[in-house]
């Protein structure tokens, strides 16, 4: 029990700041008459349960292959229930898990409410910034000689779509794995701040539709060639991002605020979350760091090639995540120091003992 109390006390900054963000998001949404969707919360909980189930199957499959137990049920019991350290680690992670389950539905509601707070008037600016950075060319045009082949485009679309699992399986692993607790808390604090500040505040102030949507929404034909290429590939090999974009456009026109709805290009949360996973992964192991660095680069390139984002969207995301990562680390260190000082001030109870004769 004492270990669980210490865990909860150390997690208070993550829980407290996340709840503060939730409360303010709810108040902001209430000013526009937008309510929090309970069905989105249920769906997000189901996705996290699915993610934990995937991790459980992977872990127990590896352990059974390694140990070859006479009784698989007994192995599960000894691994997760009778092992005190493991049991306390899993139970201790439940408060943050509840915060995670609530986070993305709030973000979806905020993202869907952007048009009620700010006009989408940044697209032309970001197009010009991209063309400046790429010497007068659109970034997708520069990438096209290398990526403009149907199998490559379809593969990038598959990876880009699977990014969603990172928010669930990846977060569940970090929450329950045997890693440094300060690193774990730094990640989840930065995760909550990223979705709120980058995906909420910055996305509202820098509201833009992105290359895939300025045509159907604004009538802007700047990316008509890219859209035609992607549609042509989709006739040969399924490009999984196209039906997702169609769904987002439909939700946007219907003012749907459910889980996964809303359109916002700047900044890119795909790039932001991948970069955050790279920052935490490199602290866990060099191999994991290299993998997530490669994934981060692929997602950033894919976001441009598939028409979701301007290249500058990813650049802004990287800078913002770096700033929040530093702030999160400094805050966790300050909190741990505060707990340490409080523990040092507690009186030590001494008992009189009679020496044995």
- The structural domain count of the chain equals 1
Q: State yes or no: pLDDT of 355 exceeds 50.
A: no
Q: State yes or no: pLDDT of 266 exceeds 60.
A: yes
Are residues 281 and 292 in contact, defined by beta-carbon separation less than 8 angstroms?
A: yes
pLDDT of residue 289: 96
93 by Cβ neighbours in 10 Å (0-12 / 13-18 / 19+) ranks as buried
The length of the chain in residues reads 357
Q: State yes or no: pLDDT of 146 exceeds 50.
A: yes
Q: State yes or no: pLDDT of 109 exceeds 70.
A: yes
H-helix or E-strand containing 43? helix 38-67
**Is 216 within a domain?**
yes
| Tens of pLDDT, residues 304-318 | 999 999 999 999 999
pLDDT of residue 354: 40
Count of CB atoms situated within 10 Å of the CB of 42:
13
Q: State yes or no: pLDDT of 29 exceeds 60.
A: yes
Distance separating alpha carbons of residues 203 and 205, to the nearest angstrom: 6
**Is 85 within a domain?**
yes
Q: Which of 139, 60, 120 is nearest to 302 (CA)?
A: 139
The mean pLDDT value for 72-90 works out to 82
The mean pLDDT value for 244-250 works out to 90
Distance separating alpha carbons of residues 277 and 215, to the nearest angstrom: 33
pLDDT of residue 259: 60
Q: State yes or no: pLDDT of 99 exceeds 70.
A: yes
**Is 348 within a domain?**
no
pLDDT of residue 19: 87
**Is 353 within a domain?**
no
Distance separating alpha carbons of residues 119 and 112, to the nearest angstrom: 13
pLDDT of residue 128: 97
**Residue 307 — φ and ψ, nearest 5°?**
85, 10
**Is 355 within a domain?**
no
Of the chain, the percentage scoring pLDDT greater than 90 comes to 57
Instruction: Report CA-CA distances (Å) from 292 to 158, 166, 170, 284, 329.
Output: 16, 11, 11, 11, 20
**Is 205 within a domain?**
yes
Distance separating alpha carbons of residues 86 and 197, to the nearest angstrom: 34
Which two three-digit tokens encode residue 12?
């208070």
**Is 270 within a domain?**
yes
| Tens of pLDDT, residues 31-72 | 877 766 677 788 889 999 999 999 999 988 988 998 888 888
**Is 354 within a domain?**
no
| Tens of pLDDT, residues 86-98 | 888 888 889 999 8
pLDDT of residue 97: 92
Count of CB atoms situated within 10 Å of the CB of 294:
12
Instruction: Report CA-CA distances (Å) from 306 to 20, 77, 260, 266, 350.
Output: 36, 46, 18, 15, 68
Q: Cα 184–298–232 angle (5° rounding)?
A: 140
Q: State yes or no: pLDDT of 352 exceeds 70.
A: no
Count of CB atoms situated within 10 Å of the CB of 58:
12
**Residue 11 — φ and ψ, nearest 5°?**
-85, -5
H-helix or E-strand containing 338? helix 311-345
Cα torsion angle, 129, 132, 137, 139, sign = negative
For the chain, the average pLDDT equals 88
Count of CB atoms situated within 10 Å of the CB of 77:
12
The mean pLDDT value for 164-171 works out to 91
Torsion angle (degrees, nearest 10) of CA 77, 81, 82, 84:
150
| Tens of pLDDT, residues 220-243 | 999 999 999 999 999 999 999 999
Domain that holds residue 183: 2-343
């Amino acid at each position: 029990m004492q270990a669980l109390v210490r865990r909860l006390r150390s997690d208070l900054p993550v829980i407290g700041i996340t709840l503060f963000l939730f409360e303010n998001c709810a108040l902001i949404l209430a000013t526009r008459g937008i309510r929090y969707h309970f069905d989105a919360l249920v769906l997000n909980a189901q996705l996290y349960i699915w993610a934990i189930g995937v991790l459980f199957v992977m872990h127990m499959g590896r352990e059974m292959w390694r140990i070859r137990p006479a009784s698989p049920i007994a192995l599960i019991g000894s691994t997760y229930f009778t092992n005190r350290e493991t049991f306390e680690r899993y139970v201790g992670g439940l408060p943050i898990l509840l915060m995670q389950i609530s986070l993305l539905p709030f973000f979806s509601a905020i993202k869907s409410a952007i048009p009620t707070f700010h006009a989408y008037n940044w697209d032309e600016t970001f197009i010009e910034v991209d063309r400046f950075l790429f010497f007068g060319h659109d970034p997708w045009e520069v990438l096209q000689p290398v990526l403009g082949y149907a199998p490559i485009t379809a593969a990038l679309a598959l990876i880009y779509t699977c990014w969603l699992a990172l928010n669930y399986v990846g977060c569940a692993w970090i929450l329950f794995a045997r890693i440094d607790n300060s690193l774990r808390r730094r990640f989840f604090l930065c995760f909550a701040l990223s979705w709120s500040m980058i995906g909420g505040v910055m996305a509202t102030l820098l509201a833009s539709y992105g290359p895939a949507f300025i045509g159907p929404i604004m009538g802007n034909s700047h990316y008509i060639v890219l859209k035609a290429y992607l549609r042509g590939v989709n006739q040969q090999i399924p490009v999984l991002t196209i039906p997702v974009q169609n769904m987002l456009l439909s939700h946007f026109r219907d003012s749907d605020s459910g889980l996964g709805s809303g359109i916002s290009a700047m900044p890119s949360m795909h790039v932001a979350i991948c970069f955050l996973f790279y920052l935490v992964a490199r602290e866990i192991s060099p191999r994991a760091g290299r993998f997530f660095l490669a994934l981060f680069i692929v997602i950033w390139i894919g976001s441009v090639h598939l028409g979701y984002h301007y290249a500058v969207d990813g650049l802004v995301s990287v800078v913002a995540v770096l700033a929040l990562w530093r702030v999160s680390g400094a805050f966790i260190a300050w909190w741990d120091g505060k707990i340490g000082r409080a523990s040092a001030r507690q009186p030590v109870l001494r008992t009189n003992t009679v020496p044995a004769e």
